[in-house]
Chain A
């Protein structure tokens, strides 16, 4: 996996290149799951109701903290593809400032082909998490 890109746009662009390199969606899912495996472990004691992210078919837990101006994101799921998608989102949004997050759109979901290939439920879960991240940024910026 590439090192974190300097900007959100560069990160999305890098992801697009990485996806284009892969032959088909089975390989892309493999790659997405590998990203999930490389995420730092989400503490077991935080896999509770308070950290549960609702609106997904599988179980998802989510946490964040502000490190100065930078939003740090943490999460996991009991499903490997969902966990990988969380890792993909965090590559884009974690360790960014509120301003950077708010300036970025969520067009990447379609640009990466995720909208067309994920089931509607999962794509909705992904959009919901983007919305959550954006609302955290908006609170911080307010």
Chain B
């Protein structure tokens, strides 16, 4: 680290666009004590906290514009519809999609992938193949296993190395005439690895195979450009990116949403309904049956607009500092093993302490005011791969975490290690 970087890390000053202290001011939940200790929130890969602007946007929507969308002739309904569609436009802009018609609102990544597993597979046959990776979480495994049970598809897996990086060289050999989709995560939730999704997409698309990127953990750590990634589908969850829970978006390139059948049926997704037939509405409505999470979509858009306004070069420098500090600090603790040591990572560190159960580590840290996640991180195959059958302890930082918090966390883990071993 250079002197300037070190100084920046200590003061939290990273140029004009980003000051950790000023960012923290915008997150009310961070300013509290837990068990009599100042809260240190390092469970951001599970969910992120919400800035004031998101909380205010949702409250203000309920106080001024709340109505059901797309069907009322009255003023409030028109305003609510307009805001909902403006939210869609914001998501499209944030992902650099070509058109708002490429964006469907869903409950989150889990629903997005279930939608695709259902709708993409309408013309798949037994023996068709989907390629996943060893780094996936259950949301990008279980829907495909369910499809395997239902349709007899085959699942192939891009292996991961000991450091938790995907063996991309294995991908060409896994692709076959029967491959219908490659579905990989942008960033591993359990290990923090940033996967080379643009390269994966390039390899797959050269063979005419569409690519789904699960962006649950990607979007929180930097702007996403679906053009640059070259993927066909990108799924994201609002709550992972400083927005409300229960809403997310699925991007599908070009006319994909026109070419596949709807997922759920109901109101709002039809143009005409008779008892002897239906005509679906054009996308995105075709994939948005029923009343959607209106305030959620609007809050999500507020979160994206807010995040997009940050100085991301400075944010990325700060996150790199947090990661380095966390990695170096934890690595110096006796009996501690970091699981996932990829070269390119977001500030997520999974670790094990010999002779200590991850749940004990998590409980003791909680008693010190520190929130981390313990367990299998909804990625059981990955935990098996790394012989962490009881799961790991995982600390995941966001840009509102300070280097001081990381130092306190590392000191707390050292203390916990002495208590447990």
Contact = CB atoms under 8 A, between A and B. Distances in A.
Interface of A: 24-26, 28-30, 33, 57-58, 78-82, 117-119, 122
B360 interface: yes
Contacts of A58: 357, 359, 390
B411 interface: no
A80 B360 contact: yes
Nearest to A80: B360
Contacts, number: 45
Interface centre among A30, A57, A119 (most CB of B within 10 A): A57
B368 interface: yes
A57 B359 contact: yes
B67 to A, nearest CB: 36
A18 to B, nearest CB: 17
A79 B360 contact: yes
16 contacts: A25-B35, A26-B367, A26-B419, A33-B420, A57-B359, A78-B390, A79-B357, A79-B360, A80-B356, A80-B420, A82-B357, A117-B35, A117-B367, A118-B363, A122-B359, A122-B363
B36 interface: yes
A30 B368 CA distance: 12
B364 interface: yes
Interface of B: 35-36, 356-357, 359-360, 363-364, 366-368, 375, 390, 419-420
A43 B73 CA distance: 73
A80 B35 CA distance: 20
Contacts of B36: 24
Nearest to B415: A26
A120 B63 CA distance: 34
A58 to B, nearest CB: 5
A81 B35 contact: no
Question: 3 nearest interchain CB pairs?
Answer: A79-B357, A25-B367, A26-B367
A117 B356 CA distance: 20
Contacts of A80: 356-357, 360, 420
A118 B364 CA distance: 10
Contacts of A29: 363-364, 367, 419
Contacts of A119: 363, 366
